[in-house]
Amino acid sequence: MLRHNSTVELIDRLEKRGYVRRSRSRNDRRWVLVKLLPRGEKSVERVARQRLTELRAGGVALADALDTLLGRKRKAQTLTQTP
């Protein structure tokens, strides 16, 4: 949902910092391929873990809010966390 110029600028910054590598497609030179490098993978994993923890912590409240928006009554449930 980003505009082309915003996407290019973002990829430029990520590439300068060593998170991604950009290359041209061999089949169609108009296509630019962006590969996530190990440094980028570590960052994505860290952010995903943080968000997962946030979702687990607020999961019941989120489910209740969604049920209220949808006009549903929710059965009492306990959320379990996996290590």
Residue spans per domain, the chain: 1-36, 38-71
| Closest-CA residue to 64 (of 53, 56, 54, 72) | 72
Is pTM, for the whole model, over 0.75? no
Q: What is the pLDDT of residues 6-16, one digit of tens each?
A: 999 999 999 99
| Closest-CA residue to 10 (of 1, 73, 60, 66) | 1
Residue pLDDT tens, the chain, 83 long: 889 999 999 999 999 999 999 999 999 999 999 999 999 999 998 888 888 877 777 777 877 887 888 877 655 555 555 55
Distance CA 18, CA 38 (A): 9
The pLDDT value given to residue 77: 53
